[in-house]
Structure 1
Amino acid sequence: MYKVIALSGYKPYEIGIFQKDHPSAAYIKKAIQKELLRMIDNGLEWVLISGKLGVELWGAEAVFAIQTDYPNLKLAVLTPFLGQEENWNDANKEWYESVLAQADFVDSITKKSYEKPWQFRLKNQFFIEKSDTLLLVYDHDKEGSPKYLYEMAQNYQTHQEYPIHLITFADLQDLIEEDASNHWNP
């Protein structure tokens, strides 16, 4: 049973996406929704994100879409530090603020502005220790920022039961092909 999951993955530029509404984002959200719905059947109550651009904010949008049918599903945004959006462009700040406004819980783990990379490591550790499982959009063939959370979760698994659920590029490709075959009209 997964009451609390940590959700993360790539930043948009790491996977060649430069607009929040890029068609690929729809498939990422669909894949996340599919996993979340499966987990809801196993008792999922909370989804934790840190609010970083990309997969996490798309995941938040997936949660919001599911909440219409499953209002007991909650979203927590726990940032690694205060003001993480300060250097983002206006469109990304607006996206971020809209997610924070709809989230069920918002806080910062370190309660201070960015100082050093230890704040990201502390956030990863916090997410792993406070969740029952990790849902990560990550592919071993494309390293990026999710690698650090993935490796920390794998290390955690050596002394604690902690399932890791990956959404890979192959999973996304399967969704695209499934969608194409459902809309094919000879």
Structure 2
Amino acid sequence: MTNLYISGYRTYELGVFSEKDAKIDVIKKALKNEITSFIENGVDWILTSGQLGVEQWTVEVVDELKMDYPEIQQAIIFPFLEFGSNWKEDKQIKLSELKELADYIESTSHQPYKDPSQLKNHQHFLLEHTSAALLVYDREFEGKTKFLYEEIQKKQEHSSYECRLIDFDQLQNTIQNENE
């Protein structure tokens, strides 16, 4: 295993509307624990799409982990050209800062957004170029990540693709472990 795809809930799906929300610290801690485990088991590259929420927090976590694991690389693979260009200015600035942390930046479609097929092709590309996925996703609380999770399940029918979930119980355990 060398490439890990990380995704999950968007900020608005978690009710996170501030960079200072305590939920972010909990999610980052859980991500750090899982990513560390993957790195120690042979992952070389972490891939995300740059989406608001879990994917952007992942970029920050991986950057922190580079202190202990300087060999780890991270890529942001956008679904289409000019991804995020219609976001509010503060979110565009944040995305620009995160791009500076990436070792590789590309988009699967080299055209601006035109239709949903670009998103589907992007998802397919990332699943084909990774051997495992880590999702911050709880099957009882669906969000946009549901579609990715369903595609991973289809892929698992024909391959040994690994998928780990960080669900709300695990996040709660992360909080409790910090308080002990």
**TM-score where L is the length of structure 2:** 0.97
Q: Does residue 43 of the first structure (1) align with residue 42 of the second (2)?
A: yes
Deviation (angstroms), 1:72: 0.6
Partner amino acid, structure 1, of 2:9: Y
Aligned match of 2:56: 57
Q: Is the 8 A contact 2:26 2:174 kept in 1?
A: yes
Structure 1 unaligned regions, length at least 5:
182-186
User: Does 1:90 find its partner at 2:89?
Assistant: yes
Amino acid at match of 1:145: K
| 2:27 counterpart of 1:28 | yes
Offset at residue 172 of structure 1 (A): 0.5
Matches within 5 A, 1:1-186: 2-181=1-180
**Residue 49 of structure 1 contacts residue 78 of structure 1 at CA under 8 Å; is this kept in 2?**
yes
Amino acid at match of 1:124: Q
What TM-score do you get using the length of structure 1 for normalisation?
0.94
Asked whether the equivalents of residues 7 and 55 of structure 2 are also in contact (C-alpha less than 8 Å), the reply is yes
Q: Percent sequence identity over matched residues?
A: 36
Q: Secondary structure at the residue paired with 1:123?
A: helix
Partner of 1:184: none
CA separation in 1, counterparts of 2:96 and 2:37?
A: 28
Report the secondary structure of 2:12's partner residue: helix
Amino acid at match of 2:93: E
* Distance of 2:161 and 2:20 partners within structure 1: 32
Q: Deviations over 1:15-63 (max 9, x none)?
A: 1111233110011111111011111111110000010110000011010
CA distance in 2 between partners of 1:21 and 1:61 (Å): 14
Where has structure 1 moved over 4 Å in runs of 4 or more? none
CA contact 1:46–1:73 (8 Å) conserved in 2 = yes
Question: In structure 1, how many angstroms separate the alpha carbons of the residues matched to 2:83 and 2:141?
Answer: 25
Q: Which amino acid aligns with 2:105?
A: V
Q: Which amino acid aligns with 2:33?
A: K
Distance between the aligned counterparts of 2:108 and 2:19, measured in 1? 26
**Secondary structure of the corresponding residue to residue 29 of structure 1:** helix
Are the equivalent residues in 1 in contact too, given 2:59–2:101 (CA < 8 A)?
no
Q: In 2, distance between residues paired with 1:53 and 1:125?
A: 20
Q: Secondary structure at the match of 1:18?
A: coil
Shift of 1:102: 1.3
Contact kept, 8 Å, 1:75 with 1:105, in 2: the verdict is yes
Is the partner of 2:17 in helix, strand or coil?
coil
RMSD, aligned CA: 0.8
